[in-house]
């Protein structure tokens, strides 16, 4: 494990894997750590130097003042890590909540953002613009299922003290929005259990509160670097978010994986990794993958 200290004195844990042009990785959250994607992105290590880190207040990084748990500050931490490692420009690969950090990075540090890979992400967390598109993508049966699970949380868990079990119950309705096909659910559940998720991070509550205030749709036109958007058709919130990204960044390359949920790296590695490799080959300094190459985990 390596660490560096940010400009405001916070020790950040980071890990570097693989060799080649740099790709900095932003994991989801807020109850997550970088080890999750360290395990899932192994297939990219033979072509790229992957740089992971625990956000301030999560995992093995130090806690910070609560008012610094903002996506803008996390994007600045990413840039400070880039400078610490001596990279001139970088590609950024983000999953889920990490997309907010990646987009803020592209907007705040455009000169060093070489390319963006946005997997299962959205530019908006605000409920009003998201509600109708999400419900449309979710469909009535899954909407009713999510509402029932949400009611169960309110009745049985919302009044209890913070605990890992309470956090799992709180996230349960969201898991319906993201759920894979039935035959893939055990595989995804096993991967999450192996990662020890959810993690009780110091930044979890502030970031969860911040999610609902993010709306970058009006700023997307300023993202000038090459952008790849990839999401699964069963990932309701990210179907809505992916459409917003495509509208806001017309030059984005969009891939929709049929009948895949929120975890393409786990659910569909043979479809996911070749597309990402090809995009990075064209925009982050590597040669394109030959036709017929394998892309499995």
* 3-state helix/strand/coil string of 70-98: CHHHHHHHHHHHHHHHCCCCEEEEEECCH
> What are the b/e assignments for 257-281, b being 16+ CB within 10 Å?
beebbbbbbbbbbebbbbbbbbbbb
- Would you write out the chain's pLDDT as a tens digit for each of its 297 residues? 899 999 999 999 999 999 999 999 999 989 999 999 999 999 999 999 999 999 999 999 999 999 999 999 999 999 999 999 999 999 999 999 999 999 999 999 999 999 999 999 999 999 999 999 999 988 888 888 878 888 887 888 888 888 877 877 776 767 777 888 889 988 988 887 777 778 889 999 999 999 999 999 999 999 999 999 999 999 999 999 999 999 999 999 999 999 999 999 999 999 999 999 999 999 987 434 433 333 333
Separation between Cα atoms, residue 64 and residue 81, nearest integer Å: 16
Q: Is the dihedral of CA 27, 56, 177, 246 positive or negative?
A: negative
Report the SS3 class of residue 238. helix
Instruction: Give the per-residue pLDDT at 227.
Output: 98
Rg of the chain's alpha carbons, rounded to an integer? Answer: 18
Place of tokens 């530019």: 123
Output phi, psi for 274, to 5 deg: -60, -40
Instruction: Give the per-residue pLDDT at 197.
Output: 76
Sheet holding 227-232: strands in order across?
A: 2-5, 11-17, 49-53, 22-26, 90-95, 113-119, 227-232, 253-257
The conformational region for residue 29 under phi > 0 = left, psi -120 to 50 = alpha, else beta, is left
Domains of the chain (ranges, CATH numbers) = 2-127+208-283 (3.40.50.1820), 136-197 (no CATH)
Instruction: Give the per-residue pLDDT at 171.
Output: 67
Instruction: Give the per-residue pLDDT at 292.
Output: 35
Report the SS3 class of residue 120. coil
Which residues, in sequence order, are CB contacts of 205 under 8 Å at separation 6+?
30
Separation between Cα atoms, residue 261 and residue 136, nearest integer Å: 16
- The HSE-up count of residue 202 (CA atoms within 13 Å, CB side) is 16
Separation between Cα atoms, residue 27 and residue 35, nearest integer Å: 9
- For the whole model, what pTM was predicted? 0.90
Instruction: Give the per-residue pLDDT at 148.
Output: 84
Output phi, psi for 12, to 5 deg: -115, 125
């Amino acid at each position: 494990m390596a660490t560096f200290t940010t400009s405001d004195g916070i020790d950040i844990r980071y890990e570097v894997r693989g060799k080649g042009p740099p790709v900095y990785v932003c994991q989801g959250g807020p109850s997550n750590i970088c080890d999750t994607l360290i395990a899932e992105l192994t297939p990219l290590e033979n072509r790229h130097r992957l740089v992971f880190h625990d956000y301030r207040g999560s995992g093995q990084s130090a806690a910070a003042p609560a008012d610094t748990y903002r996506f803008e500050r996390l994007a600045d931490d990413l840039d400070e890590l880039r400078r610490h490692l001596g990279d001139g420009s970088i590609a950024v690969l983000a999953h889920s909540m990490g997309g907010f950090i990646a987009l803020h990075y592209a907007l705040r540090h455009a000169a060093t953002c070489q390319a963006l890979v946005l997997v299962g992400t959205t530019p908006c967390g605000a409920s009003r613009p998201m509600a109708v598109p999400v419900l449309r993508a979710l469909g009535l049966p899954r909407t009713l299922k999510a509402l029932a699970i949400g009611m169960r949380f309110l009745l049985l868990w919302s009044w209890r003290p913070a605990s890992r079990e309470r956090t799992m119950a709180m996230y349960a309705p969201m898991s319906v929005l993201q759920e894979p096909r039935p035959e893939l659910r055990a595989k995804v559940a096993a991967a999450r259990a192996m990662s020890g998720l959810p993690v009780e991070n110091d930044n979890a509550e502030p970031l969860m509160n911040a999610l609902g205030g993010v709306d970058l749709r009006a700023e997307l036109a300023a993202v000038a670097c090459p952008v790849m958007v990839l999401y699964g058709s069963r990932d309701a919130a990210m179907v809505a978010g992916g459409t917003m990204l495509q509208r806001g960044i017309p030059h984005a390359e969009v891939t929709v994986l049929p009948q895949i949920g929120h975890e393409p790296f786990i659910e569909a590695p043979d479809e996911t990794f070749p597309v990402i490799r090809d995009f990075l080959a064209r925009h982050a300094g590597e040669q394109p993958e030959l036709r017929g190459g394998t892309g499995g985990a």
